[in-house]
Each structure stands twice: as C-alpha cells, then as structure tokens.
A and B are shown apart, each in its own frame.
Chain A
Amino acid sequence: MIKFLYLIMSRIIASFKKLILILIFLCWLPLLTFAQLSPGQYLEEAPLGTWNIFGLCSAPSLGTGFSQVVLARSNTIVLTNPALLTSLLPSNLTLNFSFNQTQLFKYLMVNTGVLTTTGNLSYRCWQLNYFGLSQRWRGWVLALVYARNENYGRPAIDYRDLSSDVLYHEITLRQSGEQRMYGLALSRGLNSKLSAGLSLIKIDGSIARNLEETWPLEQIEMKDYRYQKLSGFYPVFGLNYRISDRLSLGLSLIPPYPKKAQGQSLLAYRSPEGNTDIEIRGEADDRIRMPLVIGLGGKYSLRPNLEIFLETVYFGWNKYSFTYFGETMLRSFRSVLRISSGLEYSSKFRLFGKTFDSPYYLGIMIDPQPMTDITSTYYYLTFGSGISSDAFSLTFATAIGLEKGSGHNLKNQKISITLSFYPDLKKIIRGKGNDQK
C-alpha cells in the first residue's frame, strides 16, 4: 500500500513539479483576501487558535502535520526538542514568517453577554515571528533564538446605537497581546546514535484589554482597562535516538512552570454634567501554572527521499491554574493528547543551471482542546513545499483546521514561511583570514 502511494506520489510530483508549486502558492491567496475582522477563543487568557501551543512551527513542521519532536529542518526545534540541533547543518540561520487567521464565536463580552453576532468573527495576524542562530563547534551545538509564539488578540468590536443620525450609545472593545520567547540551547551527540539537548527559555509579553463605553447625549464615559505583563522561565529537555538508518525516535519534555502576570486595571466613570469622576484602580501579582508537556515522536525513512513522521504530544492541562487580578479563576480542564502524522517527499530539479532540492509536505493533526464544558477538537490538514540548496532553503506550508464540538464550526488557518541559510562559517573565517594576510 505504502509502495503504491509512493509510486503514485513520485510520478505525480515528477510530472507536475512546477505546477504543484504554483498551485500551493495559489492556495494562500483566498486566505489573504478574506475581509475578516478579528479573533477569540472562549477564555480571556487563551492564545489564539489553540490552547496546545508547543514552541513554534516552522514551515516544514507545519507541512508535516505539526511535527516538532523528530523533524529537524531548522533551529526552531530549540523550542521543542533541542537534541535535534545535532542533526542540522553546522551553521543555521533561520527566519520565520507566519500568518494566522482564527475564528472565534464566544470571547470576552461577545456572544456571552450584551454583544451578539450571527456568525463567527475572525482575527488575523501576519508577522515575523522567529529568528534563530545555531552553530556546531567540536561536537557541541549552541543556539540562540527569539520567537513570538502566542497571540492574545481578539476581534475588535465597534458598536454604535445610532437612530436618526443621533448617537445614543457606543461601545469599543480591543484586546491585544503576545508572548515572546528568548532561548539559549545546547546540544551534543552522546554517541553515534543518541543526542541530548537542553534549552533555557525566558518568556515575556503582555495582554491589554480596553473597553470604552459612551453615552454621548449625557456626556457619560465609562472605561474598563486591564493590562497584564507576563514573564516566566522554563527549560526544554530533548533526546533523539537513531535506532537504525531508517528509524529514529525523539523525546521532549517541558516541566510545569509558573508564569507571572503583573496586572494593572482601571475602571473609570466620568460625567462632567454630574461632576462625577469615579476611578477604581487595581493591581495584582498573578500566577499562571503552565502544564507539563511531553512530546514523543518517530521518524521512518521509507525511501531515501520519503520520510514519514508520527508524533504525539501530551499536555497536562488538568493541573492548569490561572489567577486573574488576585482571583483564582475556575478552569475545568482535562489533559489532552495531540496526535499528528505527516510525510516529506524530496525531489530534485534544475533551475538556472543549478540543482535544487524540492521538498513536499503533507500532514494531518488532531488537536483536542482542554476545556471540559465545551468539547472542542480541531482537525488539521497541512501541506507545503519549498526549495533548498546547500546554501539556503525557502519553505512554505499551510494548515487548515476545522473545529468540531462547540457547534460553531470554527476555522483556523495558518501559513508559515521559513527561510534558512547555511553559511559555511569556517570558509568565511578562512576567507577573512586570507584577506588579512
């Protein structure tokens, strides 16, 4: 069966290589032209799209169904399995761009209170979300990375109660925020088969929410502003074991860790006519207990140019706790197992007289969400492609997720573009040395 699939795939790809590349690119266009508004995901502190955020997905990872424990194509693996750094080319400089479009139905006061919509709302963000450097030196690999891996933005709301050109009531709601990561990783091959790695990740970020409500006729204004500054630190442990030339296993562990959230709030009510100026200010040092994450994955080479990946990532959400401005919020969560599978097929082609590698990715992922009061699971189909040589690689992938369980059929689309360079530092240094001579 696998042989049959392989044969068909290789034939198709060989025949329509360039056409497939163009088609994959065209698949993005409808996503880019969606005239959607903004994002949301049930609970205030939830990152956009999914609760189960594990490091950051480069295009090859995304294309192969979010394979992040055994697939080593760029140094983004610092955030998920640093042991794989030993599998990369000696020098690796990687940039990643991402596009994320997430649909939400219930968030903040939308569809939970006074503001209702007839359909889902969307939030989009397009950003440079990763920069990383890694260098091998005498068997050791050292890496430094910067990533923006969680977004807390929500679709903006502008509500106006207008009648006969008279504005009676106005509500504006904004929420934005992100989490940034700064990582330092060290990895080494312990023997010809086993390698180990450790990453130390520092996180920071913020969530800001602003709700303004006005009654222009009475000149009354109400403002509810909240800001949380996030910080934290955690390690990532990784192991990679090459059982044979064809089969290897990866293991990743992120222990539970506390994330701090320093909060400030202001509730203000102003009415010049009534000479009223009420302010209620708040401050808080909150804690978010992040879950244990264990990733286990396997990679099998069917052919020299065809590899399949199978991964499962456990998120221990049952121990998750969240305090918000001094109050422990009720979070009825269960632990979940994210399962993904993907394949990568590589072929070669010539362009401008040079030979390039062209990878093709295909994958699926099942991503159950931890909330127990709302059963919600995302089902992803992922695919991607790219071009690479000895000096660089440019890959792109997209993932389309459909949610089932909440009754709102939420959609989630991701695009990742990863650009990696493999400079031969020795050559460069030697070259410079010669110049100096």
Chain B
Amino acid sequence: MTRNKKKKFLVFSSFLIIFLLFFFGLLSASNFPEKKEIISLSLKTDLKSLLLSFPLDPLMAEGNKIYLIVDRQYLDSIRQAGYNFSLETEKFNLENSRNQKASLSLQGGLNGAYHSYSELTSALKSMATTYPSIARLYILGKSLENRNIYGLKISDNAAIKENEPKIALVGCHHAREWISVEIPLLIADYLVKNYIRDSRVKNIVDSAEIWVVPAVNPDGLDYSIFTYRLWRKNRRLNADGSYGVDLNRNYSYEWGYDNLGSSPEPSSGVYRGPAPVSEPETEAIKHLFMNNSFSAAISYHSYSQSILYPWGYIDLPTEKEALFNQLASTMADLIYQVNGRFYEVGRASASLYLTNGDFTDWVYGFFQVPAFTIELSPVDLLHGGFINSEEDIQNIFQENLPAALYLMEWAISSLAGNQKGETFERQLWLEKRPKNRLKSKDAGLKGQENR
C-alpha cells in the first residue's frame, strides 16, 4: 500500500468510525429499539392483506390512522408493495417523553411527586389515550364524594374481555399510604411503555389482563393531602358524627368476625362500617371481582416491609399456606435483590395483627384466588412510617416491579397449565372451591345490591 493510499485509508476509516459512533449514538439515545419502527397507515388501507404479507404488530388506532410496529428490514418491501405509510417512530418517542413528563413529573403541590386524585386522573387518562390498544380506563364506581374509582385494564386487546388470566393491583385502601398509589401506577406505566420494547412485558400483556386500581379511596387520599396527612379511612359521615369507615375492614368475608381485627366503634381507625360492603368504594371493587375471574391480586399498603397472605381474620393457615408462602417468599427474594431491602413474609394474622373484613381474606375466601398484601417501605415509624420521601418512590417501585411481574407470570402459567389439563395447583383450588358457601355469601351480597 502506497503512502498516499494509506493516508486515504486512514482518513476513510476515521470517517467511518466517527459516522458509526454518531449513528449508534443516535440510536442509543432513541427510546425505541434499534430494529423496530412505527409506521402509520390510513384505516382505509387493505390492512388484512398487509398483515398477512408482513410480520406487523398493531400498536394503536387514532383518528383515521392505524399505527403498526414493524422490523426496519421490511420497510422497503412494504413501500414496494404499494402501501403508503408515514414513519412515526420519532413522534412516538416524543409523545412518550412528553407523557412521561405529564404523568410523572409532578411538582409544586402539597403532595410533591405524589399523585392527588386529579393528578391520578390525568395520568391514567394519559396512559389510556396514548396506548389505546393496550390500555383502557374504566370507572369502577363512585366514591362517597362522587370521585371516580378508576381501573386501568392493560392487555393486548384491552377493549375486549378475553379468556386470559386476570391480575389485580390495588392501592390506597388507606388514605395516608400515598406510596400505595404510586407503585401500582408506576407498574401500569412500566407495562404500557415497555410493551413494544421488552419481550417479557409484551408476553405478560399479550397473555393476561392486568387491572390496576391505584386509588380505592380517592376521597380519603385528597383529604390526606389537603387537610390532614395521617387520615386513614374513607369520608363517610358516621351516625355519631365521626368520619370514616376503614375500607380494608369493610369487605364481606368474615366481616366483623371479632372486635380485635376490626372495630364496631365509628370513631375507631379500624371501624368496619355498619354492614359488609356498606361503602361505595368496596362495592366498586366487589363489582370488579364479580365481573372478572381474577387469578391473583396484590393490595399495596404501607408501612412495615412485609408480604402478607390469608388468613388475616384468624390465626390459622389456609389450605394453600405452602403455596402462598412460596409465592410470597419468591416475591420477597426478588425485592431483596434490587435494593437489599428485606420484606418479611407471613400469614397476615401471625405477622402483623388480626384483620377481619380485609381485601386479601375476601379475595381468597370468596374467589379462591391467591391475594397478597404488600406492606411497602419503610420498615417502621422511625424511618418515616406513612411518609416516604419523594426520592424513594422510584426505589420502592424498582424493587417491587420484579415481584409484581413474577406474580403475573405465575398467574399466566397457572392458567395455561390449567387449560392444558395439567394438574396445577389452580385446578385443585377450582375443584375444592367451597361452592355452597360461596353461593350463600354471594346471595347475601346480591340481596344487598337489590336494596
């Protein structure tokens, strides 16, 4: 190689390296996976033949356009086949970042980075409008003060009720536990944002229906923000002039079993209400569960760093103690691996205190579905109690995400096994379900509805 040629080769190589660095730098800066693009086509296009000809993944429909995810290698072929499309990847990334700002960058209010009811409403609506094909917002009911109790359904065909395992993530039974709103909300946010870029998330969303109810108690949440930080119950004006029913003592399974796990006194912090499911907030959750066959549920609370499972009303194990313990332990391990925070695992009645009429007992008792109460960080009052710093929201979310994904995958695999006729635990539960008892309890509930 002559000196001149060497020089040319060096210059060319340098340019190539710079170009490649620049190119990959640009790609890594993008939110979207390198090989994927988002295109939009008119809804008038012959989509059926397009979808048959190319491996495309429908993302969402908006106005008269449909958005599809496609491997970059097919772009030319699609164009050559006579389809007119627009490349929307950048726009999508831009919207993502804008929505992220809108939904998560909350600053200035009394609640800092935490969501009030109206902020939560905006965030949920934003998710549902940005990802209409995989997220659909439902109003499950109205609170006492006429606020909506929202349920965000995340699934590949969110508008359709499919025969898929359903998992419920529920937060804010107790008003002062602000972090319990954030965790299910952030999990929902994670699922919709990573649907197209993370195969694990895509598999979950495609195979299951995730119902996220971040605030069962929106009235109490706003009272806790605007009036008194440590408020716990809902905003029922009781007969004696006191306020509030503890929604997590108001469910109908073994409601009022004793006065240790709940209180008949209206002024008590654990007042169970005048009757089972007397509150519109618990009624909304009841309707959600009556209309959907759930496979697993998590109710987020704070504080104490523990994962609890039924029973809570009595210090006895359920038939599925071993399985519950195994699921809870695995979740605790996954949590520990993220930030090294240890979540204790155990039966609710034995680990914390007796609770009757609570969500997890009700879910398992009536629907035979594994249900967990996750008491989020911190571990005790000295480390903040019901108050978490704004900076800790992300940490708590990051450590709880793997546990939630794990339970979703467990529910999916359980149902899949069930459908294949394998002898899975779930099949066993369905067979052993105390049907007569369920029927009589349900009849009671229905009677209440008719009133």
Q: What residues of chain B lie closer than 8 Å to A326, measured between beta carbons?
A: 108-109
Known: A276-B383, A325-B110, A327-B116. A116 touches B231 (CB 8 A): no
Taking the closest CB of chain B, its distance from the CB of A335, in whole angstroms, is: 22
Q: What residues of chain A lie closer than 8 Å to B111, measured between beta carbons?
A: 280, 282
Closest A residue to B223 by CB, please name it.
A113
* Subset of 21 A-B contacts with CB under 8 Å: A44-B226, A108-B227, A109-B227, A111-B241, A113-B223, A113-B227, A215-B381, A218-B382, A222-B229, A267-B112, A267-B229, A273-B382, A274-B381, A276-B382, A276-B384, A278-B384, A280-B114, A282-B107, A282-B112, A327-B118, A327-B226
Q: Does the CB pair B110–A265 fall under 8 Å?
A: yes
Q: Is A305 an interface residue (CB 8 A)?
A: no
Q: What residues of chain B lie closer than 8 Å to A204, measured between beta carbons?
A: none
Roughly how many angstroms separate A116 CA and B108 CA in the complex, as a whole number? 31
Q: Does the CB pair A226–B384 fall under 8 Å?
A: no
Contacting A at CB under 8 A, from B91-121, are 107-112, 114, 116, 118
Q: Does the CB pair A213–B230 fall under 8 Å?
A: yes
Q: Is A357 an interface residue (CB 8 A)?
A: no
Q: Which residue of the partner chain, among B108, B229, B378, contacts A325 with CB atoms under 8 Å?
A: B108
Q: Does the CB pair A271–B390 fall under 8 Å?
A: no
Q: Is B49 an interface residue (CB 8 A)?
A: no
- Per-position binary interface string of chain B over residues 142-166, scored 1 when its CB falls under 8 Å from any chain A CB and 0 otherwise: 0001000000000000000000000
- Per-position binary interface string of chain B over residues 230-249, scored 1 when its CB falls under 8 Å from any chain A CB and 0 otherwise: 11000000000111100000
Q: Does the CB pair A116–B109 fall under 8 Å?
A: no
Roughly how many angstroms separate A325 CA and B227 CA in the complex, as a whole number? 12
In terms of DSSP, what is the predominant structure of the interface of chain B?
A: loop
Contacting B at CB under 8 A, from A257-283, are 265, 267, 269, 271, 273-274, 276, 278-283
- Interface size counted on chain B using CB atoms at 8 A: 33
In terms of DSSP, what is the predominant structure of the interface of chain A?
A: strand
Q: What residues of chain B lie closer than 8 Å to A375, measured between beta carbons?
A: none
Q: What residues of chain A lie closer than 8 Å to B107, measured between beta carbons?
A: 282
Closest A residue to B114 by CB, please name it.
A280
- Interface size counted on chain A using CB atoms at 8 A: 37
Known: A269-B384, A273-B382, A278-B389. 15 other contacts (CB 8 A): A44-B226, A112-B223, A112-B227, A113-B223, A113-B243, A220-B382, A220-B385, A222-B387, A224-B229, A282-B108, A282-B111, A284-B108, A325-B226, A326-B108, A329-B226
Q: Does the CB pair A116–B227 fall under 8 Å?
A: no
What are the nearest 10 A-B pairs in CB distance?
A: A274-B382, A280-B112, A109-B228, A269-B387, A326-B109, A278-B389, A274-B383, A325-B110, A271-B382, A325-B109
Closest A residue to B240 by CB, please name it.
A116
Taking the closest CB of chain A, its distance from the CB of B388, in whole angstroms, is: 7
Chain A positions within 8 Å of B, measured between CB atoms, are: 44, 108-109, 111-114, 116, 211, 213, 215, 218, 220, 222, 224, 226, 265, 267, 269, 271, 273-274, 276, 278-284, 324-330
Q: Which residue of the partner chain, among B109, B228, B378, contacts A114 with CB atoms under 8 Å?
A: B228
Q: What residues of chain B lie closer than 8 Å to A218, measured between beta carbons?
A: 381-382
Contacting A at CB under 8 A, from B218-271, are 223, 226-231, 241-244, 267
Closest B residue to A116 by CB, please name it.
B242
Known: A218-B381, A278-B388. A324 touches B226 (CB 8 A): yes
Closest B residue to A215 by CB, please name it.
B381
Q: What residues of chain B lie closer than 8 Å to A215, measured between beta carbons?
A: 381
Chain B positions within 8 Å of A, measured between CB atoms, are: 107-112, 114, 116, 118, 145, 223, 226-231, 241-244, 267, 378, 380-385, 387-390
Q: What residues of chain B lie closer than 8 Å to A226, measured between beta carbons?
A: 110
Roughly how many angstroms separate A222 CA and B145 CA in the complex, as a whole number? 28
Known: A114-B231, A325-B109. A278 touches B387 (CB 8 A): yes
Q: Does the CB pair B384–A282 fall under 8 Å?
A: no
Roughly how many angstroms separate A283 CA and B380 CA in the complex, as a whole number? 29
Roughly how many angstroms separate A41 CA and B116 CA in the complex, as a whole number? 24
Q: Which residue of the partner chain, among B109, B112, B114, B145, contacts A327 with CB atoms under 8 Å?
A: B109
Roughly how many angstroms separate A284 CA and B111 CA in the complex, as a whole number? 12
Q: What residues of chain B lie closer than 8 Å to A280, measured between beta carbons?
A: 110-112, 114, 389-390
Q: What residues of chain A lie closer than 8 Å to B109, measured between beta carbons?
A: 282, 284, 325-327
Q: What residues of chain A lie closer than 8 Å to B110, measured between beta carbons?
A: 226, 265, 267, 280, 282, 325
Q: Does the CB pair B380–A113 fall under 8 Å?
A: no
Roughly how many angstroms separate A235 CA and B112 CA in the complex, as a whole number? 37
Q: What residues of chain B lie closer than 8 Å to A224, measured between beta carbons?
A: 229
Known: A213-B230, A269-B387. A116 touches B267 (CB 8 A): yes
Q: What residues of chain B lie closer than 8 Å to A325, measured between beta carbons?
A: 108-110, 226
Roughly how many angstroms separate A269 CA and B230 CA in the complex, as a whole number? 12
Taking the closest CB of chain A, its distance from the CB of B110, in whole angstroms, is: 5
Q: What residues of chain B lie closer than 8 Å to A327, measured between beta carbons?
A: 109, 116, 118, 226
